């Protein structure tokens, strides 16, 4: 079993979760569910479906329709289920790919004149605040909804992250006010 990207497993997991669905339907479900922490474009999703079928992890069935275009629906296979379980079981190497455009700018930004540096921090603050507000709204809305437990936890993960970074901004601004 070669090197398969996480996006493949995202699609595989979706097929498992929502059986006998078309690529079209899976796309819209992906957009409404894990797109927040794992966005995936429609074209890529279709490509992954082909790959998964080629691997024998899912099986497609052509479906005739009259009041809509014909479609192809997918279901997970036994080996697909095993592959999914294996992927879920192995630890995620998270930290590796963290990339921050803001930190990159800050890195070069110290050579900017002070007002420009201040603007950089302010922009970051604005964007974190917007994130925080949006996520707070989502977390509140999903409160108590049993079906949306993980979605709420995912939003909460983002919220806690945003809050921590806002706190960091206070630290950073204080630090940078001191003469260096």
Other C-beta atoms lying within 10 Å of the C-beta of residue 149: 11
Considering only 56, 104, 114, 141, the residue that binds a copy of itself (CB under 8 A) is 104
Instruction: Answer whether 146's CB lies under 8 Å from 29's CB.
Output: no
Q: Which is nearer to a copy of itself, 70 or 133 (CB)?
A: 133
Q: Closest Cα to residue 23, out of 94, 74, 58, 95?
A: 74
> What binding mask, one character per residue, do residues 37-56 give for DNA by CB under 7 A, x or -?
--xxxxxx-x--x-------
Q: CA 105 to CA 8: how far, in whole Å?
A: 33
72 binds DNA, rule: CB under 7 A: yes
Residue 69 contact among DNA, a copy of itself, none, beta carbon within 5 to 8 Å by kind: DNA
Q: CA 130 to CA 136: how far, in whole Å?
A: 10
4 binds DNA, rule: CB under 7 A: yes
Q: Which is nearer to DNA, 18 or 121 (CB)?
A: 18
């Amino acid at each position: 079993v070669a090197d398969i990207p996480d996006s493949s497993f995202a699609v595989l997991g979706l097929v498992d979760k929502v059986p006998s669905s078309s690529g079209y339907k899976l796309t819209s479900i992906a957009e409404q569910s894990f797109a927040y922490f794992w966005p995936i474009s429609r074209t890529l999703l279709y490509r992954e479906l082909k790959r998964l079928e080629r691997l024998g992890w899912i099986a497609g069935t052509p479906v005739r329709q009259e009041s809509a275009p014909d479609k192809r629906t997918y279901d997970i296979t036994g080996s697909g289920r095993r592959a999914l379980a294996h992927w879920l079981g192995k630890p995620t190497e998270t930290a590796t790919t963290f990339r921050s455009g803001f930190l990159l700018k800050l890195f070069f930004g110290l050579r900017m004149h002070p007002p420009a540096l201040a603007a950089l921090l302010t922009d970051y603050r604005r964007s974190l605040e917007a994130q925080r507000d949006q996520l707070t709204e989502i977390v509140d809305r999903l409160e108590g909804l049993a079906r949306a437990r993980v979605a709420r936890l995912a939003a909460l993960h983002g919220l806690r992250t945003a809050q921590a970074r806002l706190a960091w901004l206070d630290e950073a601004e204080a630090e940078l006010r001191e003469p260096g």
